[in-house]
Chain A
Amino acid sequence: MSNFEPEIVAFCCHYCAYTAADMAGTRRISYPSNVKIIRVPCTGKVDAIHLMKALEKGADGVYVAGCLDGDCHFKNGNLRATAHVEKIKKVLEDLGWEPERVAMMYFSAGMGEQFAQGAKEFTEKIKSLGPSPASQTVGKAV
């Protein structure tokens, strides 16, 4: 499984993490191409069903990247997203999946380097877990 290249979906807040990803690009800091970014107006918009659907359709890992605590443009969308991620972690445990396949991260718009680092670390973690059960059966849909 050494050549396993995971498919990873990252739901990124327009106001922080997405801009941090942009910042990483501007500064020519590379991060794994495994990470496919979906820009959202606020991570509070990312519901539990979006995380489940990503996994169902073959993503090996999914993370939500929102604003730092207290910095949400819409007051507490990042906290809502955190709750959704925690809920899905518990569901995955019940299903016998590794809960580490979903994660919550927090960045400010200026944290390009940290964004790239987070993407690298998450990709490494998913590589160590191996392909998800769904990605092996339904194929790559992301």
Chain B
Amino acid sequence: MITAEQKPLQEIFGYIAPYEKILVVGCNECVTVCAAGGRKEVGLLSSALRLHSVKAGKKLEVLEHTLERQCDPEYVDQLKELAGQVDAIVSLACGCGIQTVAAQYAIPVFPGVNTKFMGASESQGIWAERCMGCGDCMLGVTGGICPVARCSKSLMNGPCGGNSSGKCEISEDVDCAWQLIWNRLVELGIQDRYEELVAAKDWRPAGGGGPRKIIREDLAASKIITEDMA
């Protein structure tokens, strides 16, 4: 999932300072799971904004709403009525959701979270990066452990000299991805794969070729047909 963390309150206060009525919008997807922008966090942030306005002696009305998903225009349409009542929106969705809202409404839309990375939960309250969306998944040859996301240098052919007792030189808390890969290959009895050299990675599908887009002709075509029928 996409992970995020709430922005510092002071930054959010700064964004909304000129406005008297705002809408805080959450998303029921990834940011709910990583406890950054779901219904509960919308409530907490809204409450904090109200308490801050009271302390500052400032007039502020805060509306709250949480969408099923903020990165689909169909769901964001549901904000139409609320968006018409406010001066600005604070979105607690990931960057995708924030941009979808901003694209649909002609009022200022501010981020309430910092979108971090695509990660998995290690245990309750702890998420760690697992994927960088390189567009050409190589987990099939690395024992299910991603060197792109988990090696600090995204090395393709084994560890660098910074591996110390299985830890990365950047921190004792970071496992060397290539140590993990080697251990996994040994566990699976396929360590001979380690000797197969991986060619220099083409980073164009990873974003090096500009903003990426997926067009599923079958799905996009059926939408066109549906619209034509309507």
Contact = CB atoms under 8 A, between A and B. Distances in A.
Do A and B interact with each other, yes or no? yes
A95 interface: yes
A133 B58 CA distance: 12
Interface string A86-103: 000001101111000000
Nearest to A90: B9
A91 to B, nearest CB: 6
Contacts of B8: 94
B9 A138 contact: no
Given A91-B9, A94-B10, A48 B51 contact: no
B47 interface: yes
A49 B54 contact: no
A97 B47 contact: no
A137 B47 contact: no
A19 to B, nearest CB: 29
Contacts of A133: 51, 54-55
Closest 10 CB pairs of A and B: A52-B47, A94-B9, A133-B55, A133-B54, A49-B43, A95-B52, A134-B54, A56-B47, A95-B51, A96-B55
A interface SS class = helix
B50 interface: yes
Contact of B44 (A48, A96, A137, A138): A48
A139 B129 CA distance: 47
Contact of A52 (B9, B48, B54): B48
A47 interface: yes
11 contacts: A49-B43, A49-B44, A52-B44, A52-B47, A55-B47, A56-B50, A91-B9, A91-B48, A95-B9, A97-B55, A134-B51
Contacts of B40: 47, 49
Interface range, B side: 10 to 19
A28 interface: no
Contacts, number: 43
Interface in A92-142: 92, 94-97, 133-134, 137-138
Q: Which of B8, B40, B52 has the most CB of A within 10 A?
A: B52
A27 interface: no
Nearest to B56: A96
A55 B50 CA distance: 10
A75 interface: no
A137 B54 contact: yes
Contacts of A47: 40
B16 to A, nearest CB: 14
Interface string B48-65: 101110110000000000
Nearest to A52: B47
Nearest to A53: B47
A97 B54 CA distance: 10
B44 A56 contact: no
Contacts of B52: 95-96
B109 to A, nearest CB: 23
Given A91-B9, A94-B10, A95-B9, A56 B51 contact: yes
